[in-house]
Amino acid sequence: MENVAGFEAKLQANEIEPTGSLDSSHSGEHDSKNNEESNKIADTIHSDFLYTIENVEMTSPVIETISDPKNSQNSLKPKVNFEKSMWDDSKGLKIGDFIDNLSDADFKTYAIDQKVLDSHGYVFDVVMPSSSRSCCFTKSYKHYNEGTGSVLQISGTVGIDKQTSENTRYFTEYEVARLLGFPNDFSFTSKSPNDKSENVTLKQCYKLLGNSLSVIVVSNLLTRLIKQM
């Protein structure tokens, strides 16, 4: 299948006629040829999307043909217009698919103190179970309020209903892990009685997660690299 570089090579070799040399009787044929080449480029680029994410549909970039100002013959040149957002996640998962239904006792462990909400609540990035995105979680999560990760408002509407210590909390360490692609059976601890990992604190868990990578992305990259070995 022909790629963008191949198409440009054809243009430079004059295998595709420039627009300045066409008369009206050949304009339809020329347009058809350009459309065919553009479609080939689009197919090639779309085929480069080697991996997909469940419930997320990837959209193809827009292919445009523009005049080349460096070419005195004013020939056409392909231009790939990659949109800022390449993903259509209208059917994607929501934050609510990753969170736990905590007991009252567990909720208090992760609840945000009302004094903190009253004094610094404006710096938090607040999401709801219906949200489709969250901020990146860093190793300073729960230690610093701003720019370290989102907090969860489990009831009411963000921006309308007040955040209180009864409806707003931090994400648990395992909820953050799921958002990063760790499996549901992942654990920070071990069943071995001699394993010191049993002593991992909540603060250490957040630090470990903040220094980690997306499991899904890394696994796909490693799979591709191993296949090429």
Task: Give the CATH number, domain containing residue 210.
Answer: 3.90.120.10
Counts of helices then strands in the chain (DSSP H, E): 7, 7
Residue 8 lies in a domain: no
On whether both 117 and 193 belong to a single domain, the answer is yes
Please state the rounded mean pLDDT for residues 67-95.
Answer: 61
* Residue 211: per-residue pLDDT: 79
Same domain, 59 and 156: no
**CB 121, CB 106: distance < 8 Å:** no
Quick one: which of 165, 220, 223, 224 has its CA closest to 52?
220
Domain carrying residue 72: 37-80
Query: Looking at the structure, do residues 147 and 54 belong to the same domain, yes or no?
Result: no
pLDDT in tens, 32-54: 555 565 555 445 444 455 555 56
- The highest-confidence range among 1-15, 143-157, 187-201, by mean pLDDT, is 143-157
Same domain, 76 and 99: no
Banded pLDDT at 150 (limits 50, 70, 90): very high
Six token digits for residue 11: 């243009």
Domain count, the chain: 2
Q: Specify the pairing of strand 76-81 against strand 57-58.
A: unpaired
**What is the Cα–Cα distance from 113 to 65, expressed in whole angstroms?**
57
